[in-house]
Amino acid sequence: MATSTRRKRPDPALTAFATSTSSPFPDGYDLEGERKILTHLLQSDDPDPADPFYGRYQLFVEREDKFKQLQAEHGAREAADAVVPAYEARQIKCITPLEAESQDTMVLHTAHAMRLFLGVQNAPGESGSSSAGGKRVASALRALWSLSSNDNPYADWALIDITYRVASARKFIDHEANRIQTKLEALKQKGLSYSVLQSREPAEVRLGFSSPYGFMIALLLVEVDFYCRLVKSAQHRDVASSHEAHESIQAVKHKCRSLFERAVYWQKYLTQETLIKLTRHDFLPGADDLSQKRVLALKTLFGNVPKDIFMGEQQPRHTKRRLSLSDAEYRLLDAVPLTDDATDSNPAAAQLLQ
């Protein structure tokens, strides 16, 4: 008598499940889709084995455990390609931050440039106008650079403003230096050999800046220094009069001091305890009273932040802001009115500036 064998039907839980193209499993198993379907069993302290979805529940538990294992392996391998051995992948955590092999220094040949670096402070008991030096300005810019990580539009504006002023000063110096060099080169054509004056004992300053903006100021100062040497060389060869040389150097020093004071002014107010927490969220409708006061106070001081800076379309040359806006967040910010008439006189906002 012939015997027949009946094939065992596969467990429906193993074949019936939600799928997704973004699934980490080869068969497309969708954890989140199944989580929604099995909510009643997942929330139960004692899932009922008689429940028709119990088989799918068991499969879900297995797949969730497997997913956690995959995540752990992925993390342990530092997200490296599958062909990379784990011991090699882990070496990425051993790499230390980049650092200079030697101390960064700046060599200055003129007292003019050195004084710009040092600044001027009033003597004890004396009144007068002090002026910020390059080192203090570098510190102020470092503070503003750090503040940009808080999504502060005024910090972004400050960095953009000072970068523009430095670039303008350097452009002016370059233009004037080229003009003087052209005159000096003409002397060579006539047979007079010359060299640019320099100090026998220049000052060598250790920089130690921890932000790129510090080096931006250092570069400005060495260009001022060379320009002063060039002007003095022209004066020494009678290419420029003493008065012309004095006025040329004073014009450059004035531009530098002006932008130095502006940088310190930005930093002085933006890092005040009452204003330092400002973010773009303070501008949104529904912001709390303190947030609105911060916005009004800074509008009073600096005016309305330009739209392209507020929207992040124009960014500082160096920034710590790492936000990526969704389309909805972008539209929300785009709808914020940046101009109003409330900044002319607002006692509550003015209190934050005390």
**pLDDT computed for residue 82 by the predictor:** 81
DSSP state of 205: E
How far is the C-alpha of 198 from the C-alpha of 222, rounded, in Å? Answer: 13
- pLDDT tens-digit readout, 144-158: 999 999 999 999 999
Say whether both 120 and 236 belong to one domain.
yes
Say whether both 256 and 161 belong to one domain.
yes
Give the H or E element holding residue 206: strand 203-206
**Mean pLDDT across the chain, nearest whole number?**
87
Find the farthest-apart pair of alpha carbons in the chain and give their distance in angstroms, rounded. 127
Q: Closest Cα to residue 163, out of 152, 173, 155, 151?
A: 155
The pLDDT of residue 13 is above 60: no
Which tokens in the block code for residue 347?
A: 């006692």
Does residue 32 lie in a domain region? yes
Question: From the centroid of its chain, how far is CA 16?
Answer: 50
Does residue 5 lie in a domain region? no
Strand, coil or helix: what is 203? strand
DSSP state of 18: -
In which band, very low, low, confident or very high, does the pLDDT at 99 lie, cut at 50, 70 and 90? confident
Does residue 3 lie in a domain region? no
How far is the C-alpha of 149 from the C-alpha of 156, rounded, in Å? Answer: 9
Please name the amino acid found at residue 174: D
Domain boundary among 270, 302, 322: 270
β strands within 237-284, DSSP E: none
Say whether both 286 and 304 belong to one domain.
yes
Parent domain of 296? 280-351
Which tokens in the block code for residue 19?
A: 């799928």
Say whether both 61 and 112 belong to one domain.
no
- Enter the pTM of the model: 0.74
Does residue 7 lie in a domain region? no
**pLDDT computed for residue 168 by the predictor:** 97
Bridge-based pairing state of the strands 203-206 and 105-108: antiparallel
The pLDDT of residue 93 is above 90: no
**pLDDT computed for residue 83 by the predictor:** 86
Give the H or E element holding residue 105: strand 105-108
Say whether both 117 and 253 belong to one domain.
yes
**pLDDT computed for residue 321 by the predictor:** 84
**pLDDT computed for residue 327 by the predictor:** 66
The pLDDT of residue 14 is above 80: no
How far is the C-alpha of 237 from the C-alpha of 231, rounded, in Å? Answer: 10
DSSP state of 33: H
The pLDDT of residue 343 is above 50: no
- pLDDT tens-digit readout, 231-275: 999 999 999 999 999 999 999 999 999 999 999 999 999 999 999
Q: How many domains does the chain have?
A: 3
The pLDDT of residue 349 is above 80: no
Say whether both 183 and 85 belong to one domain.
no
